[in-house]
Amino acid sequence: MDTFMQAAFEEAEKGLQTGGIPIGSVLVHRDRIIGRGHNRRVQQGNPILHAEMDALANAGRQPVSVYRESTLYTTLSPCAMCTGAILLYQIPRVVIGENRTFLGEEELLRSRGISVEVRNDPDCIRLMSRFIETHPELWGEDIGV
């Protein structure tokens, strides 16, 4: 696991340790993390606080030129909401830890010219698989089932 995916994975672990859903994300600009976050829907009672949204919020206001030169790393395939944010801010590259436990809107990203790399990292798969198995109701709530 490279440095940036490791940072996203550490965010996912933070989410789990604080009673939430183990998904993490980091926004990287010019080989530097400018925003990091994890899914905090449960902890904050906020339905839109997915990991990618948290990382973007924690990056603060950025000019579009920064987003256009950035890469978003996320431990899980992005949902429709997070995909919309990626498209809105014109982030050109998304690196995904895994998409076996949940397949998000990768095809939409690709269709809009976004570079999508799926790693299917065993640690990311294991973390989400265990969570889904032990917390199916919470997971269903997060993805709208």
Catalytic residues: 52
Phi and psi at residue 26, in whole multiples of 5°?
-135, 145
Cβ(16)–Cβ(131) below 8 Å: yes
Cβ(33)–Cβ(7) below 8 Å: yes
Size (the chain), residues: 145
